[in-house]
Structure 1
Amino acid sequence: MSFLKSLSAQVLAALLLGLVGGALVAGAGDVPDWLPEAAQAVGSVWLGCLQMTVIPLVFSLLVVGVAAVSDAMTAGRLAMRAILWFSLLLAGATVLTFLGVEAALAAFPVDEASARALIAGATGGEVAAPQTINFAAWLTSLIPSNPLAAAASNAILPLVIFALFFAFAVTRLPEEQRVLLVKFFDAVADAMIVIVKWVLLAAPLGVFALALTLGLRGGLGATGALFHYVVLVSAGCIAVVLICYPLAALFGGVGPLRFARAVSEAQVVAFSTQSSIGTLPVMVETARRNLGVPEHVAGLVLPLSVAVFRLTSPVANLAVVLFICHVSGITPSPGQMIAAGLVAFAVSISSVGLPGQVSFFVSIAPICFAMGAPIELLPLLLAVEVIPDIFRTVGNVTADLAVTTILNKNDKGVRTIAPETA
């Protein structure tokens, strides 16, 4: 964890040094053409090394994730109800994010000059126009006649659909074959994560090169857009936290004030560690001591929620991609939004447990592909992700405890706390 924190600090420092250094060089006089081109090339090579792992990693994680959910559903009725609540909340969060983020960007748009500076620095000012297809063609494209071709062309939703079909088919195989395939794809995912970690060792260099390009081409003009991004994504995660209080009251019978007091200790630990897994022991103790959740409920639901449920994932990830579309001048079609929502839902389950920097690319790049958004901005956004990531973790921990409270009320066991309306 200390390594990840230090890497985050290094990447943020690289972003600041690149921006300021590029702006100073640009302000000193004429910038030779080769300098931003060379810096852009270095950054693009680093980004390409990350991008090459996305497809095999997403496919492998989907297979392993579906197998984990399938195994959980065989654990009994409580686990099945937990999976149902996870799915409903993730689906609801996905829909509300489109509405909320679009409304927020319409009410508080990114400054045009700052957006142009960000795009010019990250992509050279060239953003491919999104393809427009009719509904029939979009519907036909969902089923890949050639999954390998879909992977090669970054057609992410058809590939996700094939991966889900394949994963569910794996769960129907005899146990020996199923375990063999799940272990194989688990190993593939682990190997891809090792590659990503290797590439991330060069993240300060890659981000510095991209930030230097940004500073050379636009000076410090992009800082406003980056600040807007941090506020937007953090606000989305904070909204998740706030929604959990009425959820616990309406469906769990625990009043907002009581719930807020009960989960505050776990939220503080989540804020400081930025790790849901690291907060799990405190979450279990909080559920038992402060919320009166029986051990058999807390012991099943909370580890399961940490394993397969991150409510802030579709919220924050879609907010990132919608921000990229906004500053790029891209207006996604309804079909692209549906595709992005489905991909965000699937990836939110499959990417649970990955380190923050790995999860950022694995979770968001597929949504960018589905929405037709340029991924070149992701390294720059990763550099300032350290702040939104704090609120991601707090939101996930709060949601885990809210769902545990809800399931405790509906469990056939005896409740140990009375419903409140405070």
Structure 2
Amino acid sequence: MDNLLLIVNIIAFLFLIGLLYTMHRKNVSFSKRVFTGLGLGILFGFILNFAYGADSAILAKSVSWFNIVGTGYVKLLQMIVVPLVFISILGAFTKVTIGKNFGKMAGMILGILVGTTAIAAAIGISASLLFGLDASEIVQGEAETARGVSIEERSANVAGKALPDQILDLLPANPFLDFTGARPTSTIGVVIFAAFLGFAYLALTRRDEENANLVKRGIDALYSLIMGVVRIVLRLTPYGILAIIARTVATSDFAAIFSLGKFVLASYVALLVMYLVHLIIITVSGLNPITYVKKTAEALLFAFSSRSSAGTLPLNIKTQTDRLGVPDGVANFAGSFGLSIGQNGCAGVYPAMLAVMIAPTVGQNPLEPTFLITLIAIVAISSFGVAGVGGGATFAAILVLSALNLPVALAGLLISVEPLIDMGRTALNVSGSMTAGVTTARINGELDKDVYNDSMEHQSIEGA
């Protein structure tokens, strides 16, 4: 009987895949297919959850088959992250788009990322105080206790690392190791290595024009090849979102979500307020925030579904360049730096909320001005080097709680609703990096306003 139900679930999933493929054959727009995939995934997930229950063995087996599409798609995106970052930044130098203003551009992107993270921390603090969040109110069961022990063990390896050491961790001692993604900051290491090669190319153009032209042709050819791979993978987005969101909804513990509803609500209020701050920054830059919302919706939706800032990077960069008019170099630096520096959701809102929640358990008054100022400063500094994959928020929380001498084990209290909260955090991370890219390009006069204001009918991040 179990095998029969498993087959039924797989057939139903394949039927939904077929619907999306039929829409593709009928030339339905990419955006409509993405949002259709989201809707079908939510509906299918609810049906499976209601029929079997989140902990069902049949559901677990079914999800393992769905993961071929969902997790497989995320892995394909992650596959092209490092090659895309490397060749795009190096290619930007050959187009002489960032050579003369590299320092100003990079400094501005970093300033926006870290500055918005400090604002996100203040918003997270406000949300915790407004909703009266207190870690002592959460019942600590076996799962929470086990998670707390795991976090304590991890904190032994990462806590107490000074800012100079965090900065040194960004540098690529072995760029070939970083090409394998072996370190949490590997992407930033690749960015730095590509920038050094880019400056070497600019020097070569002044000394040996013939070889410089040869290098440029090779880089341009490789860039075209990598972008071809990106376009192929992005065409799978509707199917990937269908599988990912169906798995997420089907395996969600709605009873636990209901019992911790106040914490989930407070988190999303803080995340939405910070997203409004992004729109205010866009508006102050002289751009239409509604246009930004419409054109970034697909990338943010995928970030929300996949819970992976790194997996969203190709969509992030393509959205900035193809829809928002950001130059390649700026888009790649903003997207790449945003993976490990200044993540507004994971490194800003989340650790700040946790610190305010946990402070009363050790007799610390969370309203004390010195505590609040120190917390915001530590959050901003600790946002350097947070990995853009699952676990980045935990890493940030460990750094912040340890610096404030708060018990890091209590960061495991929200484990039952962690996936739901992490979806919103990841989307905010990606929006923060895109905001940094758009704003930097606009201030430096490099933004193509015609592309930014152009109708989406003429633009598609899916590619040709």
Q: TM-score, normalised to structure 2's length?
A: 0.49
1:325 to 347, 350, 359: 359
**Residue 81 of structure 1 pairs with residue 108 of structure 2:** yes
The C-alpha deviation readout for 1:217-247, integer Å capped at 9, x for no partner, is xxx9x98763322222232222222221121
**Residue 379 of structure 1 pairs with residue 438 of structure 2:** no
Distance 1:269 1:362 in 2: 23
Which residue number corresponds to residue 193 of structure 1?
none
Which residue number corresponds to residue 247 of structure 1?
281
CA shift for structure 1 position 84: 1.9
CA shift for structure 1 position 97: 3.1
Change (3 A) 1:348 1:414: closer
CA shift for structure 1 position 395: 0.7
Distance 2:378 2:410 in 1: 19
Distance 1:266 1:383 in 2: 26
Which residue number corresponds to residue 340 of structure 1?
375
CA shift for structure 1 position 318: 1.0
Which residue number corresponds to residue 403 of structure 1?
436
**One-letter amino acid of the structure 2 residue matched with residue 179 of structure 1:** A
Q: How does 1:43-62 map to 2 (within 5 A)?
A: none
CA shift for structure 1 position 166: 4.8
**Residue 90 of structure 1 pairs with residue 117 of structure 2:** yes
Query: Where does structure 1 lack aligned partners over 5 or more consecutive residues?
Result: 1-15, 18-71, 124-150, 191-219
**Residue 392 of structure 1 pairs with residue 425 of structure 2:** yes
Q: TM-score, normalised to structure 1's length?
A: 0.54
The C-alpha deviation readout for 1:325-368, integer Å capped at 9, x for no partner, is 35777424444434433332232222233x42x32432212322
Which residue number corresponds to residue 325 of structure 2?
292
SS of the residue corresponding to residue 449 of structure 2 reads coil
1:228 to 217, 239, 262: 262
Contact 1:365/1:375, CA 8 A, preserved across alignment: yes
**One-letter amino acid of the structure 1 residue matched with residue 115 of structure 2:** L
The C-alpha deviation readout for 1:67-91, integer Å capped at 9, x for no partner, is xxxxx99953211221122222222
Distance 1:170 1:279 in 2: 23
Change (3 A) 1:328 1:384: farther
The total of aligned residue pairs comes to 274
Which residue number corresponds to residue 303 of structure 2?
270
Q: How does 1:46-195 map to 2 (within 5 A)?
A: 75-98=102-125, 100-106=126-132, 115-116=136-137, 118=139, 159-160=160-161, 163-166=162-165, 179=173
The C-alpha deviation readout for 1:346-402, integer Å capped at 9, x for no partner, is 32222233x42x324322123223444333333331232000100011111112222
Change (3 A) 1:241 1:119: same
Distance 1:189 1:288 in 2: 27
SS of the residue corresponding to residue 292 of structure 1 reads coil
Contact 1:232/1:319, CA 8 A, preserved across alignment: no
Change (3 A) 1:223 1:408: closer
Change (3 A) 1:88 1:395: same
Change (3 A) 1:346 1:334: same
Distance 2:364 2:106 in 1: 41
**One-letter amino acid of the structure 2 residue matched with residue 276 of structure 1:** S
Change (3 A) 1:282 1:372: same
Contact 1:248/1:403, CA 8 A, preserved across alignment: no
Distance 1:380 1:295 in 2: 42
Change (3 A) 1:290 1:91: same
Distance 1:120 1:416 in 2: 54
SS of the residue corresponding to residue 277 of structure 1 reads coil
SS of the residue corresponding to residue 111 of structure 2 reads helix
Distance 1:170 1:267 in 2: 28
Query: Where does structure 2 lack aligned partners over 5 or more consecutive residues?
Result: 1-53, 56-97, 146-154, 185-254, 454-464
Taking only the aligned residue pairs, the percentage that are identical comes to 20
Contact 1:276/1:306, CA 8 A, preserved across alignment: yes
